[in-house]
Amino acid sequence: MNDQSTMLTQADYGGAVSAEQRNRVLRNTYWLLALSLLPTVLGAWVGVATGITRGLSGGVGLIVFLGGAFAFMYAIEKTKNSAAGVPVLLAFTFFMGLMLSRMIAMVLGFKNGSELIMTAFAGTAGVFFVMASLATVIKRDLSGMGKWLMVGALVLMVGAIVNVFVGSSAMMMVISVMAIGIFSAFMLYDLKRIIDGGETNYISATLALYLSIFNVFQSLLALLGLAGGSND
């Protein structure tokens, strides 16, 4: 789910990218990441208000989500060096918000639904703050984490696909806990790559961080809904 095609060690890219360029990429990434949350919220609101995603359950929902997500990611990769890159990324985040709306609508069905959503949002922000802080103080090269994290993400994807048809709450909780751990580590890995100069395209960097944030938030929301949802 992240662009892991180029794995360079700190020694390989440290001298090629200036500190000014690294700071510029990081700054632009943070700005675009913040901007990308607006279409996500809008997409989620549209989905909840219109109920357009209500029928996207089971295999149909899975096909629409995976097909749309991978099509957008392919388009982002192709346009990341052009003026179209940012609009395509923002369209993708709107789509992801739309896909998230079904879960949000379910959580809002609980009496404490709004509190659960805010808790998941605060938890995700906390995870990101911790990972961003760690990325600035860790000196060692973390490029070796990439392949292991990718394996973990693939295992999670397979597990999530299986559970779409199995519908096990226990399995969903296990997958959610694993997803929080794996995508939190992805945040650290991707932020460290930016800081060390391993990622010089802020659109690609934003996409990688956005996917991690989205998955952590979705997993926290699923856990809170399963464990703390109240109808009383």
Query: What would the DSSP string read from start to end of 155-179?
Result: HHHHHHHHHHHH--HHHHHHHHHHH
CB 170 within 8 A of CB 227: no
Residue with tokens 């896909």: 99
Average pLDDT over residues 202-224: 94
- Could you report the per-residue pLDDT of 25-74, keeping only the tens digit for each? 999 999 999 999 999 999 999 999 998 877 777 677 788 888 999 999 99
Position 87, amino acid: P
Short-list 213, 203, 218, CA closest to 183: 213
pLDDT at 177 (0 to 100): 93
pLDDT at 229 (0 to 100): 62
CB 213 within 8 A of CB 122: no
Q: Which long-range contacts (CB under 8 A, 24 or more apart) does 56-61 make?
A: 56/99, 56/102, 57/102, 58/164, 58/165, 59/164, 59/165, 61/102, 61/164
Q: How many residues does the chain have?
A: 232
Q: Is the pLDDT of residue 14 over 70?
A: no
Rounded distance between C-alpha atoms, residue 127 and residue 168, angstroms: 27
pTM of the model: 0.87
The DSSP call for residue 141 is: -
Average pLDDT over residues 175-180: 93
Q: Is the pLDDT of residue 88 over 70?
A: yes
pLDDT at 230 (0 to 100): 61
pLDDT at 231 (0 to 100): 64
Tell me the pLDDT band of 96, cut-offs 50, 70 and 90: very high
Rounded distance between C-alpha atoms, residue 38 and residue 59, angstroms: 28
* Residue 103: how many other CB atoms lie within 10 Å: 17
Q: Is the pLDDT of residue 125 over 90?
A: yes
Short-list 49, 38, 45, 53, CA closest to 91: 38
